[in-house]
Amino acid sequence: MQGLTAVPTFRRSIALGGIAMGWRRLQRWILVSGLVVSTAALACPDCPTSEVVRGSVLGEGFWGYLTVAVVPFPLLGALSAMMYRVGRQSRYHGAILSAGVLLGTGLGGFLDGILLHQILQWHNMLSSRLPPTDLVSMKVNMFWDGLFHAFTWMTTVIGLGLLWRAGGRSEVPWSTRTFVGSLALGWGAFNVVEGLIDHQLLGLHHVHPGEGQLAWDVGFLVFGALLVAVGWGLIRGASRRENRPRRTGESGPRLSEREPLAE
């Protein structure tokens, strides 16, 4: 009976811990997003159309668009916090999982913005709501693309900070399979969350608008789901040795515990 009651208690502790860490990170995101208003007020200060651009950015719908731009990142931050709790309870690799998920989120967001927004120019952040058919609408979309990149940059920096902290902890194992899996998990989760919210629910933009845009949107979601599955498979498939703490004591593992060198 004691073993049976320990299972729901363990699950509750994971859920409550993830919610608490996610809420703290959400508070940080809210504080940072408050700075966006002042940034928007300075949008394109030297442009001949600066007043029109600022009026369009700060006009009706600003707070709604800002919320939509911010929401995926706290959700993925909560996922990172949950992975930290789960990993710490199971095989001591929660710190590397948490860092990898945030780094995967940031790098996946950068790839989305650089490749699809800038190089291929298939869409912008608000291109379905405000088609970039003139100079002002292009600059407004450019502002929201820049804001999207700012949040992906901050997510990447936080992930690097967590990775740096994990590197200084001897109980955190360095597993390439676990780290790569967490990167794929974060990237895939970003695609799924961003694709569901921005593409499907709100229709702010589509991957490749025009004929066949639904197929592109579905393909984007399927690719994200595959990344999540591959990432989770890599994490689950990491060997026990890969997820063992780097040092079992002050003097490290004994010679008898080390595996023999391959001939």
CB 10 within 8 A of CB 89: yes
201-245 per-position pLDDT tens digit = 989 999 999 889 999 999 999 999 999 999 999 988 875 556 566
Reported confidence tier of residue 152, pLDDT bands at 50, 70, 90 = very high
Residue 148 in this model has a pLDDT that exceeds 50: yes
Q: What is the pLDDT of residue 19?
A: 52
Query: Worst-scoring range by mean pLDDT, 91-100, 102-111, 252-261?
Result: 252-261
Q: What percent of the chain has pLDDT over 70?
A: 66
Q: Alpha-carbon distance 118 to 253, whole Å?
A: 50
Query: Where is pLDDT greater, at 90 or 54?
Result: 54
Residue 56 in this model has a pLDDT that exceeds 80: no
Q: What is the pLDDT of residue 208?
A: 94
Reported confidence tier of residue 40, pLDDT bands at 50, 70, 90 = low
The two tokens of residue 94 are 């929660």
**Mean pLDDT taken over the chain:** 77
Read off the pTM.
0.72
CB 144 within 8 A of CB 126: yes
Residue 153 in this model has a pLDDT that exceeds 80: yes
Reported confidence tier of residue 80, pLDDT bands at 50, 70, 90 = confident
Q: Give the burial string for 15-31 (b: 16+ CB within 10 Å, else e).
A: eebbeebbeebbeebee
